[in-house]
Amino acid sequence: MSDVPSSPAVAASDSPAAWHGHAPGSPAYRRILLGLFCAGVATFAQLYSFQAILPEFGLALGIDEASAALTVSAATLGVAASVLPWASVADRIGRVPAMIVSVSAATLLGIVALAFDSLPLIAAVRLLEGMALGGVPAIAIAYLNEEVAREHAVRASAIYVAGTSIGGLSGRLVSGPVTEATGSWRLGVAAVIVLCATAAVVFMTVIPRARGFIPLRRRPAALPPDARVRHLIRRHLQDGRLRALFGIAFLLMGGFVAVYNYLGFRLMQPPYDLPQTAVSLLFLAYLLGTLSSSVAGGVAARHGRRAVLVAATALMLAGAAVTLLQPLWAVLAGLLLFTAGFFAAHAIASGWVGALAERGRAQAGSMYNLFYYGGSSVLGWAGGLALRWLWWPGVVGMVALGLVLALLLARRLRGVR
């Protein structure tokens, strides 16, 4: 841990001493998982609704691959920029109210984006939409760590990550086929917004009130709120274990988004010539990610988080290499390996941050997401340049370099539980 001394305000910030969390099997535990599953759908379906239709969107606006990908990068940049502010908002108004505001505002902004034909305007609204969406990933893991019994938090976090993969998958599977069937990218995105609005209503209906959260106004006032946040951020950045996890999040998510952003461009051209709907079906690989993230929590409980994180990252590297082969079956097999590895690694890394940050969990989770979505924005866009210069081998080369760096960072986690 960091050697920065803790203050009474920080020490008391995470959970009441008398509260030990909901146990698996209880009605509240099931409602938490269902509610966060629906929040994940409402968030991640919107966040990546453009990803499955990037080739069609680029064709409609007459722009290149990297420019079309700005619709995704702008939204994830908005998430990255907003996660720390959302953590502060949640400290003041509560975890659940903040997440409700987040998904509601994002849905409205998603509708606004459909009104424009200009890439700069669409990207600007997508940036704002991402800033609104940032509330859920900024808060969800902290909420889980406060509301679920500590010994079950790793497994619950893995189930939440599995839910986010379903959310991301549903948005892509809806937008792609609807766009091809109607010839309109707007109708494809609008269909996703309807799905997200429905999921948001279910989330607001079932999520139980927080019991492990102490509002900021009731915490000891040894540090003013802004000074407390700065103190926590400084503390987390001085922790070498957390720094390693933040860097791993940047590299893994950036590589993951780059592969999914640009593989469709490759497969819609010779020798494959796949239609838009078939390209959208690539995202069914997320189902394997859902399984791997759920399994990862149980395996880590037996063999340790670091072993699973390293193995999952190595699996991503192997999968990326396999996609370089020419046969379509090999490309799909490589994508499956890559996806399974990513979701397992993310499930472990995100839950590990919450476990290591005994104080200021919301800020630690938000910093993880800052790097996570920062990687999505930066490397997700840079992959378009690699595609333009060196075609698919350029994308894989960029991703592979990032994964090797992530494995080197994981060496700093030796002996950490």
Of 109-118, 133-142, 405-414, give the lowest mean pLDDT range. 133-142
Q: Which of 151-165, 213-227, 253-267 has the highest mean pLDDT?
A: 253-267
Between 104 and 287, the more confident residue is 104
For the chain, the C-alpha Rg in angstroms (whole number) is 20
The predicted model gives 140-157 an average pLDDT of 77
Q: Supply the pLDDT for residue 179.
A: 93
**Mean pLDDT computed over 153-168:** 74
pLDDT in tens, 236-286: 666 778 899 999 999 999 999 999 999 999 999 999 999 988 888 888 888
Query: What is the structure's pLDDT at 291?
Result: 84
Judge whether residue 206 has pLDDT over 60: yes
317 has a pLDDT exceeding 90: yes
- Domains annotated for the chain, with CATH where assigned, are 16-213+224-413 (1.20.1250.20)
Percent of the residues in the chain that have a pLDDT greater than 90, as a whole number: 49
Report whether pLDDT(5) > 50: no
Kindly indicate the confidence band of residue 369, based on its pLDDT and cuts at 50, 70 and 90: confident
pLDDT in tens, 334-346: 999 999 999 899 9
Give the residue among 326, 320, 362, 359 at the shortest CA–CA distance from 340: 320
Q: What is the mean pLDDT of residues 4-29?
A: 54
pLDDT band at 18; cut points 50, 70, 90: low
pLDDT of residue 70: 94
C-alpha to C-alpha distances, 61 to 76, 117, 118, 271, nearest whole angstrom: 21, 8, 8, 25
109-127, pLDDT tens digit by residue? 999 999 999 999 999 999 9
| pLDDT higher at 256 or 159 | 256
Question: Mean pLDDT across the chain, nearest whole number?
Answer: 85
pLDDT at residue 45 above 60? yes
Compute the average pLDDT of residues 68-93. Answer: 89
Check if the beta carbon of residue 257 is closer than 8 Å to that of residue 380.
yes
22 forms beta bridges with 148
Percent of the chain with pLDDT over 70: 87
Quick one: average pLDDT of 356-361? 69
Q: Give the rounded distance of the alpha carbon of 307 from its chain centre.
A: 22
The answer to whether residue 287 scores a pLDDT higher than 70 is yes
pLDDT value at position 15? Answer: 41
* pLDDT band at 8; cut points 50, 70, 90: very low
pLDDT above 60 for 13: no
**Looking at the predicted structure, is the pLDDT value of residue 174 above 80?**
yes
| pLDDT confidence of residue 4 | 31
Distance spanning both ends of the chain, measured CA to CA: 12
Q: What is the pTM of this model?
A: 0.80
Query: So what's the pLDDT on residue 159?
Result: 72
3-state secondary structure string across the chain: CCCCCCCHHHHCCCCCCCCCCECCCCHHHHHHHHHHHHHHHHHHHHHCCCHHHHHHHHHHHCCCHHHHCHHHHHHHHHHHHHHHHHHHHHHHHCHHHHHHHHHHHHHHHHHHHCCCCCHHHHHHHHHHHHHHHCHHHHHHHHHHHHHECHHHHHHHHHHHHHHHHHHHHHHHHHHHHHHHHHCCHHHHHHHHHHHHHHHHHHHHHHCCCCCCCCCHHHCCCCCCHHHHHHHHHHHHHCCHHHHHHHHHHHHHHHHHHHHHHHHHHHHCCCCCCCCHHHHHHHHHHHHHHHHHHHHHHHHHHHHCHHHHHHHHHHHHHHHHHHCCCCCHHHHHHHHHHHHHHHHHHHHHHHHHHHHHCCCCHHHHHHHHHHHHHHHHHHHHHHHHHHHHHHHHHHHHHHHHHHHHHHHHHHHHHCCCC
Average pLDDT over residues 367-384: 90
Comparing 20 with 366, the larger pLDDT belongs to: 366
**Among 178, 61, 70, which residue's Cα sits nearest to residue 125?**
70
Residue 149 — pLDDT band, cuts 50, 70, 90?
confident
- Minimum mean pLDDT range among 29-43, 210-224, 383-397: 210-224
Please report which confidence band the pLDDT of residue 14 belongs to, taking 50, 70 and 90 as the band edges. Answer: very low
